[in-house]
Each structure stands twice: as C-alpha cells, then as structure tokens.
Chains A and B, each alone.
Chain A
C-alpha cells in the first residue's frame, strides 16, 4: 500500500499525483516506469516516473484518464492509498553520449522527457525542448520546461499558445535552420513518435523513443509488451522502454496497443 501525498489537476482529465514510495524514489532514474494496481480488483497499469524526490521518498506520476482504471486512480484523494506500486521498472534513458539533445514531448509523453530535461539541466548540459499539445490547456509543465531548457519551443494544434502546428513542423524548421541536433529523444502518442522518426531518418539524426506498450507484469514474464525492433522481437518492459526509433515497426506497435480498447466489449464479456 502506498499513500497518495498530493494530487493536482494539470489539464482537463490529466492528474499529477505524488505517491509515497521510498524504495522506488531511492532507486529510480529518468526513463523508468512503475506499475500501479489501484485496488484489490484493479488491473496492473504502467506509468512513467515523471519526477522523484529521493530525500522525501516520493515519486510523481502523470495520469491521463482514458478508461475505468485511470479514472479510479485519478479519483484518489490525498491520504488515500493505492493497493500496489512496483518499480522502478525498465531501463533508464541513456543519452549521455550526446552533447546537443533535442527533447520532444507530446501530450502525456512530456512526463517522460521531464526527468531527463531536469537531469541534463542540473548537469549543465541543458537540452533544447519542444513540447506540443492539441491546445493550450493540455500543455504540461511549460514553466518548468522553460527553466530546464537551452531553447524552448511550444506548438499547439490550434495555435492557442506558441506556434500553430505540430511538433514535427517545428522540428523540421529547426533542422532546416541549421540547428545542431546530435540526438532527438521523442515521447508522445505512437503516431507522433513515428512522424518524428520519419523526419529524423531523412536527416540521419539518431532518435530515441519510449514505447508505451500494453503491459501486464512489467518484468519480462508475459510478452504482452513485445514489439518488433530491427526485425527482432523485443520486450518493452525489460529490453526497453526506449529503443532506436528508426528500427521500430510502428504500424505493428500501434495495432497491438489498440487491441483491448478496440475489443472492449468482448474482452470484458464476463463482467457485464
């Protein structure tokens, strides 16, 4: 059982939640994730660790309400408990070899680039950062990102803040303007990661993505999160979650991600 320390609504249907988790906070690194089981009947759901405080023994997650389980988690109040919390799982982000890194975050994916942005800023190697969202209200932690970055750009689909358009538009503009980019680390919806990879592939810019696959155990036991990387089957939980974005079969990964959602009625056939 882990106590909810703080919750904050950061955007419509998006909750930032801080949880007591000493063992996780003292062992985690940017890029790793946890699995939450909200109550005794809950399913196991993965969330990236957005922020962590080693001294306080707390971790912060960003939760977007997309279904029953995420709604249940989002409804928890300060002082409530989650039934189970396990982590840190997966491998930490590895970008140390690159000098000039461009972080690209889309929607909830900003939670994954956040700890990396913070870490690099503290190391004196601040990144350039692009964050994008559909509209202004959905932008996550823009003030913090502004502080963590060397150059900071915002895009919104509707132009309500920053530049109107997608993160890909901005990315390509930066490349064309001759900005030096040694590596792109992009996290967001799979389609966005794919589009970014398509652009960076044209310019031969190494690109790392973080794959938000469906998961069950998160420790390499079930194979639910498998995906094809460079023609080989990999497990997002133990081989990833980060991979060379140019080698991922995104069409397959997107199809697998939608499996239960598409068949919601059938897959809960025994529950109605």
Chain B
C-alpha cells in the first residue's frame, strides 16, 4: 500500500545562514525519508513521469528499488539512461518534466523524483571506481569538443562502447557550464570533479586549454579521428543594447559567475579580482539570473531582479526562485531596463526601467510584455549583471566552415545529431541555443548512439 501522505521536503540550509556561505543549500533526503518518499510512488503502469524525462529514465523502476532501500538496484536502472544523476537530481527543472506529469500532483504533491534521483547520485559517488581502463589499440577514435553536459554524456557512452575518446576543453578545467556557470551552493564542484574523474578512469582522455579552431584545426581533428561530436555550448553573452551598457560595473552573468565559480575569486588564495556592488541589479529571470543574484547576495549585496514579464512566466526552476526569495532578493517584475547612467568616473550609478503590462500571447505562447508609456523609474545601483542568454559565438562559425548554420547562428543537426558532414555530429546548446543541462545530456547520448552506429557501419 502506497504512502498517501504529503510530499516530503528535503533538508535545507537556513536562509539566514546560507547567505553567508557558498555551501550547498539543499541537503537532500536522509535514508528514512528517501524510503518514505519512494513509497509515495504509485508505480503507474503507463508511467507518465517517464514520458516527461528528456532522457527517458525508467522512473517507476528505480523508485521501486528505493522503496526497499536498494540504491544499488536504483543506480543500475538510472545508469541505463543517465550517467550523471548526482548532477541532474540537483539541476533539472523537474517541476516541468517528470514531476509535472506525476499523478500524485492531485494527492499530496508530485513524488519528489529529483530528490530521489539525487539520493542515487550520492550513492554512486561513494562507490569505489572501477580500476582504470584503457581502450584497445585498434579502438575507433572519437573527438568530443567541449566538456559540458552534452560532451561528457556523449564521451561516457562512447567510452563504454570501447572507443578511444578525447575531449577537447578550452578552459583550464573540465565541466563546461557545470564548472564555470552553476554555483557551488547549487551544485558542489566536488561532484562535478568526481564525475569527470570517473570518466577519466574509464579511459577517456581530456585535453585542457585546447581550443578547436585555434590550437588544433577542425581539419586536423577530422584526419586524426574517426568521428567528431561538437558540444561547444552556447556563445557570446547577450546584452540589452541600451545606452550606458558598457559603463564600468555592468557585466554579463557569465563574467560574474566565471570569476566566482571557475576562478574562485571569492576565496582568499585566488588572484582573480571580483567586483561586487552593494546594490546589485540583475536583469533577467532564468536560472543564470538566479545564480548571479544569489551569488551577489552571498558576496554581501542587496539584490534586485528586473524582469519584463510576470512571476508566472519566470523561466528559472521554481526551487531557485523560491530560494532567491527566501534569501531576500527583491523582484521588480513587469519592468524592463531602458538605459543605464554613470557618474563622472564612468561607473554605473542608476538603471532606468519602464513598467510593462502583458498583452496578447506571442510566438512563444507567453503574453507579450508591452511598455506602459511614461512609467519610467530609476533604480540606484552600483552593479548591473545582465543575464539574458547568449547569441552564437563567431568562433564556431569560423571554425566549422563546412557545416550548415541556422539563421540564429546555431549548428544545424538532424534528430540523430548528424550535421550532414560525414562523421561529424553536434548537440547541446551549440545546436539548440541556451537550454538545460538535461536536454544537452540527452543530445549527447543520442549523438553517441549515432556515432557508434556510424562507426560500426564504417568498418
């Protein structure tokens, strides 16, 4: 008989405490709560949750294992579809995917699938690594460009199938957005490091400081490798193109977060400088905006998020928005920046916004924000962080000249992640534009399957 009680909440670090540290906010379930929550799952035969998962994890099956505390069994089920459960359990927008479709939404709240997945992920990390593997001398060679979620998951599947995989990473540390983008308090870097270590132990090679198109050309890659997967991520940070945007104190969320997450600028021993104002305005309301706002909060700032639509349209994960509010971050909704103004020193001192109302739905199905004439107001600020997504990186276009690009500037690839150029596949944000970790991982796995099929046929 299933537990018909309410959804269990994971342990959390108190908001008053956590704004003073970078430690993880959500502390997950203990084992007893895990079992209790697992027993809330009705094990629906048609498994609507599974259809909501971008990588199709057999959710009722892994939860069935957890009902009796069998993390090992659950791990084997998840592993068939997802190599990084410790990451996805933390960063997936479950409320829009698996949990959205859970029948328990009508009875005590959706099963906390993300939290349960996280429990399995934690268990995986404590398992001893298998002894280091080396691909056979005659193994097919696969090059993966970029070590973010798409690249890592593609590499993991290709390595499992016996390929000799080399990942090329432009930064000095692997992990892509998991390393430079998502903050420590949401995804501890130790977890990312551990997952990467496991991949290396499984026989995958990672070349750091390697910029494809610069330190190695695409042509060289093509002649040295049997197949290539391009997972170079999204590109240049987008700005608003309004007056005053290049004032000092105005920066992209990518810059702010990279200084903090990758360069560890908030630690005493780091040489990287970080500027954090006292009165920070973050423009945008996606996950990156929440990350930037909450990071600034932890560096001691009062933070206001400016977003042109209403609460309902906020694209960030619900949990991140709740956490941001708990941490005292203000939301100026239905507001759009029109200009920024600086002092005689060229330092930003205010941002002018205009109030918006919601009109008819636009192409995205969301109601279009319309400016209310004459409603401008000024917010005093000493730092503006822009988190509006990215536009394509020209480096990609210049490097992969033979590939086809969409009008948006992303790489064109079919449903099998094939680019049309023999042996060359692409996926993740480089193809879709900025999206989620899990969709990038899904693309990486589809690409791996296509690559393995191609290599088998090529023989």
Contacts and interface: CB of A to CB of B under 8 A. Distances in A.
Contacts of A37: 172
Contacts of B393: 219-221, 238
Contacts of A262: 345
Interface string A52-95: 00000000000000001100100000000001111111000000
A43 B272 contact: yes
Interface string A208-231: 000000001101111110111000
Given A43-B263, A86-B172, A266-B275, 18 more contacts: A23-B216, A24-B215, A27-B216, A84-B172, A84-B209, A86-B210, A216-B259, A219-B393, A219-B395, A221-B180, A221-B236, A221-B254, A223-B236, A223-B252, A256-B248, A259-B249, A271-B269, A271-B270
A222 B255 contact: yes
Contact of B252 (A27, A84, A222): A222
Contact of B245 (A27, A41, A233): A233
A29 B386 CA distance: 34
A260 interface: yes
A84 B207 CA distance: 12
Interface string A85-128: 11111000000000000000000000000000000000000000
A270 B268 contact: yes
B394 A239 contact: yes
A252 interface: yes
B394 to A, nearest CB: 5
B271 A42 contact: yes
A9 interface: no
Contacts of A69: 271
B239 A43 contact: no
Given A43-B263, A256-B246, A224 B251 contact: yes
Interface of B: 170-172, 180, 208-211, 214-217, 235-237, 239, 241, 245-246, 248-249, 251-252, 254-255, 258-259, 263-276, 299, 345-346, 393-395
6 contacts: A89-B214, A221-B393, A222-B255, A252-B246, A255-B248, A270-B299
A226 B395 contact: no
A23 B215 CA distance: 6
| Cβ-closest 7 pairs across A and B | A267-B273, A255-B346, A222-B255, A86-B209, A43-B272, A223-B252, A84-B172
A260 B271 CA distance: 12
A246 interface: no
B394 A221 contact: no
Contacts of A89: 211, 214
A270 B269 CA distance: 10
Contacts of A266: 275
A220 B394 contact: yes
Contacts of B245: 233
A235 interface: yes
A77 to B, nearest CB: 20
Contact of A260 (B246, B266, B275): B275
A264 interface: yes
Nearest to B259: A216
Contacts of B217: 27
A268 B236 CA distance: 27
Contacts of B269: 41, 271
Contacts, number: 127
A27 to B, nearest CB: 6
Nearest to B264: A41
A202 interface: no
A270 B214 contact: no
Contacts of A72: 271
Nearest to B239: A233
Contacts of B210: 23, 86
B279 to A, nearest CB: 14
A222 B237 contact: yes
B237 A223 contact: yes
A216 B252 CA distance: 12
A199 to B, nearest CB: 25
A44 interface: yes
A228 B246 contact: yes
Nearest to B394: A238
Contacts of A27: 214-217
A270 B251 CA distance: 20
A87 B155 CA distance: 24
Nearest to A249: B246
Contacts of B180: 221
Contacts of B237: 221-223
Among B235, B248, B265, B272, the one with the most A-chain Cβ atoms within 10 Å of its Cβ is B272
Interface in A7-27: 23-24, 27
B337 to A, nearest CB: 15
Contact of A44 (B263, B276, B394, B395): B263
Interface in A144-162: none
B384 to A, nearest CB: 13
Nearest to B278: A266
B212 to A, nearest CB: 10
Contacts of A268: 273
A216 B209 contact: no
B208 A84 contact: yes
Contacts of A256: 246, 248, 346
B240 to A, nearest CB: 10
A68 B115 CA distance: 45
A222 B258 contact: yes
A252 B247 CA distance: 8
Contacts of A83: 172
A221 B430 CA distance: 13
A139 to B, nearest CB: 30
Interface in A225-261: 226-228, 233, 235, 238-239, 252, 255-256, 259-260
A87 B258 contact: no
A43 B262 CA distance: 10
Nearest to A258: B248
